[in-house]
Amino acid sequence: MEIVMSGIAKAFGTNQVLRDVSITLKEGEVHALMGENGAGKSTLMNILTGIHKADAGTITIDGVERTFPNPREAELNGVAFIHQELNIWPNLTLLENLYLMRPKRNKFGMLDKKAMLTEAETTCRELGIELPLTTEAGLCSVGHQQMTEILRILMLDAKVVIMDEPTAALTERETATLFNMMRKMKARGVAIVY
């Protein structure tokens, strides 16, 4: 997947946040989007994922101009944004959080927790991460919660993953794990915006 954002502009009232911004994201690339607080980094990514609408500019995905009406539609099309404020339900297990939007069911329509656990464990092994999948999320570290968010998105077959300051609340060990995971995502052809 190749995404080209060209000439993007966005203002909130009289505050011009973005002016003629362009970026190209290609599969397997890692981009560091840097700037001061208020520079418009999150706003640019919010435009890509349908949270905000650009005042000017174009977005093309694989050569076709398009925009997403909302973040869910962006995710369904392989573009996912992991915000600083994690989207984790603390009273559910990490496994339940992984499958909240797409639970696996058996032939009787019942939740197939065994199939979900097997799939999640396989994906964790492939990415070289360890998660206490059967533990309530609220009892887990912020790092484990963040890895769960990333894993959930990758299990949806995301082609572009945007992470808003992912190391801000992580320990040194969790940061090393995140970087290792990013290398494996890159090797799988996932584009990453950090």
The CA distance from 20 to 11, in Å, is 12
- Domain with residue 26: its CATH number is 3.40.50.300
Query: What domain range is 144 assigned to?
Result: 3-193
User: What total number of domains does the chain contain?
Assistant: 1
Position 18 scores a pLDDT of 94
Q: Please state the pTM of the whole predicted model.
A: 0.81
pLDDT tens for each residue of the chain, 194 residues long = 899 999 999 999 999 999 999 999 999 999 998 888 888 889 999 999 999 999 999 999 999 999 999 998 998 899 988 877 778 999 999 999 999 878 889 899 898 999 999 999 998 888 778 899 999 999 998 888 888 888 888 787 789 999 887 777 677 887 888 888 888 889 889 999 98
What six digits make up the tokens of 120? 């999640």
183 SS3 class = helix
What six digits make up the tokens of 2? 């190749």
Position 188 scores a pLDDT of 86
